[in-house]
Amino acid sequence: EAQVTQNPRYLITVTGKKLTVTCSQNMNHEYMSWYRQDPGLGLRQIYYSMNVEVTDKGDVPEGYKVSRKEKRNFPLILESPSPNQTSLYFCASSLEGIGPPYGYTFGSGTRLTVV
């Protein structure tokens, strides 16, 4: 089944404790992206990657890191989480990075709480 898999689904952590949210897709998509969803703000892009070893900042990158060492994986790293990073996070992938956006396939989300 074609899908984007995120782990974990739920995470509660303490301020300053490094964490990684994993994302993997099995569709050979070139383009992957991380979004955070907050009430009243919709989805805001954190980082995206057009292909292996090619990443760039989205609209709200502060406090986050990403890497794209393999085509299928795009982990989101919070080096020192803070309470304002409490949010619902989505990973998404798409067929093409350069060219018309074909529409995303989204993961099921990771609800992160930083206390």
Partner 1 sequence: AQSVTQPDIHITVSEGASLELRCNYSYGATPYLFWYVQSPGQGLQLLLKYFSGDTLVQGIKGFEAEFKRSQSSFNLRKPSVHWSDAAEYFCAVGGYSGGYQKVTFGTGTKLQVIP
**Under 8 Å between Cβ of 108 and 6:** yes
Query: Of 14 and 60, which CB lies nearer to partner 1 in the complex structure?
Result: 60
Query: Of 16 and 48, which CB lies nearer to partner 1 in the complex structure?
Result: 48
The residues with which 10 forms a beta bridge, in sequence order, are 111
- Among 11-19, 61-69, 72-80, 89-97, the segment contacting partner 1 (CB under 8 A): 89-97
Cα–Cα nearest to 52, from 38, 34, 71: 71
97 forms part of the interface with partner 1 (CB under 8 A):
yes
Among positions 14-53, residues that touch partner 1 (CB under 8 A) are 31, 33, 35, 40-45, 50
Which of 24, 29, 90, 93: binder of partner 1 (CB under 8 A)? 90
Query: Of 9 and 18, which CB lies nearer to partner 1 in the complex structure?
Result: 9
Distance (Å, rounded) from C-alpha 114 to C-alpha 13?
Answer: 5
SS3 107: coil
**Under 8 Å between Cβ of 15 and 115:** yes
Residue 57 beta carbon to partner 1: minimum distance, rounded to whole angstroms: 12
Cα–Cα nearest to 95, from 50, 35, 41, 34: 50
**Positions that interact with partner 1 (CB under 8 A):** 4, 31, 33, 35, 40-45, 50, 90, 92, 94, 96-109
